[in-house]
């Protein structure tokens, strides 16, 4: 009997989860390379409840009152739709146009993947993310490099020398891209990075501009792909669904109160 609370309670929890996910999406509306999540709900198991005995029914087994136990969040897959390109003319900022992720080496030595191309140089000239993770393959840009630019194939060019006139542009580095069979299977590792999992499949590393890989837009970053209008709509949907479940919970509470007060 008290199990009746489970249905609406699970609805409250699941819709709270939806609001949480939307809040996180909205909080990251200006985070470069951020990919919004969506929530998928699933109904829970159905169980047979003991029916009121009906002696007129010929076959007792015909009574299959199966009452559902409510709802849960099955998954919060990310949408890997591209975000808008934001040009900021920072020479080391890169945006991927098309499929792929930048490959970076995290502090613990493992590989992580990101779409956030707001890179800088560290003290020894390596291209690093804002968290200091080294972009692979590791490159060292000489300290005297000037006029750095990144072409669409991810090659990093710069002019070297003291600027006396005849320095030529040389390649000083490159970036690679990784693709996944199932990007939605990637695990979020915070700091805009993702880790490969069994679900995502192994990283398929290639060069920007290769078949199936995106190209690089230098001097730009990829904006967040959070769609404000969609999130606000979803928020209203979640809020309303929450209210309906709260009402159901309240009604069941009132009914049980009546049962409790049967004997005055």
Partner 1 sequence: MIRGLYSAAAGMIANFTRQETISNNLANLNTTGFKQDLIAIRQAAEVPEARQLSGLFEVPYPTRPGPTPLGVVGTGVVTDPVAVDQTQGDVRETGNELDLALVGPGYFQMQTPEGQTFYTRDGRFSRDGVGRLVDAKGNFLMGDDGPIRVAQGSVQIDPDGTVLSDGEEVDQIRVMSFQPDTPLKKIGASGFVPVDPSAPPTFVDQNTVVQQGAIEASNVDPNKAVVEMMSAARSYEAAQRMVQLNDSVLERAVNDLGRV
User: Which residues are CB-contacts of 81 (< 8 A; sequence separation ≥ 6)?
Assistant: 35, 225
Choose which of 29, 44, 189, 195 interacts with partner 1 (CB under 8 A): 44
Q: Which of 70, 117, 154, 208 binds partner 1 (CB under 8 A)?
A: 70
Token code pair at residue 200: 């995502």
DSSP state of 212: T
Residue 66 within binding range of partner 1, rule CB under 8 A: yes
> Considering beta carbons, is residue 18 or 135 the nearer one to partner 1?
18
Residue 198 in tokens: 């069994």
Which of 2, 56, 190, 229 touches partner 1 (CB under 8 A)?
56
Is residue 8 within the footprint of partner 1 (CB under 8 A)? Answer: yes
Strands 193-195 and 111-114: antiparallel
Q: Which is nearer to partner 1, 192 or 234 (CB)?
A: 234
Q: Is 162 a residue that touches partner 1 (CB under 8 A)?
A: no
Beta-strand (E) ranges in 151-192? 155-159, 169-174, 177-179, 187-188
Question: Can you say whether the dihedral through the CA atoms of 99, 170, 88, 24 is positive or negative?
Answer: positive
Is residue 182 part of the contact set for partner 1 (CB under 8 A)? yes
Measured from the CB atom, is 171 or 182 closer to partner 1?
Answer: 182
Using CB under 8 A, count the residues that bind partner 1.
67
């Amino acid at each position: 009997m008290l199990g009746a609370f489970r249905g609406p309670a699970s609805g409250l929890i699941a819709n709270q989860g939806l609001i949480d996910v939307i809040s996180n999406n909205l909080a990251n509306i200006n985070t470069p390379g951020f990919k919004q999540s969506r929530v998928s709900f699933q109904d829970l198991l159905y169980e047979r409840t003991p029916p009121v005995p009906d002696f007129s029914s010929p076959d007792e087994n015909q009574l299959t009152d199966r009452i559902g136990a409510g709802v849960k969040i099955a998954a919060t897959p990310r949408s890997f739709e591209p975000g808008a390109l934001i040009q900021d003319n920072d020479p080391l900022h890169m945006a991927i146009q098309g499929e792929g992720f930048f490959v970076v080496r995290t502090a613990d030595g493992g590989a992580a993947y990101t779409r956030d191309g707001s890179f800088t140089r560290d003290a020894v000239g390596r291209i690093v993310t804002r968290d200091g993770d080294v972009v692979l393959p590791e490159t060292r840009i000489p300290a005297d490099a000037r006029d750095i630019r990144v072409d669409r194939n991810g090659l990093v060019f710069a002019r070297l020398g003291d600027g006396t006139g005849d320095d030529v542009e040389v390649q000083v580095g490159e970036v690679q891209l990784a693709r996944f069979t199932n990007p939605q299977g990637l695990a979020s590792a915070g700091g805009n990075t993702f880790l490969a999992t069994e679900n995502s499949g192994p990283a398929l590393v290639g060069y920007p501009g290769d078949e199936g890989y995106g190209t690089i837009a230098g001097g730009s970053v990829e904006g967040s792909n959070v769609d404000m209008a969609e999130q606000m709509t979803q928020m209203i949907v979640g809020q309303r669904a929450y209210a309906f479940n709260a009402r159901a919970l309240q009604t069941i509470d009132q009914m049980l109160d009546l049962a409790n007060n049967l004997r005055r």
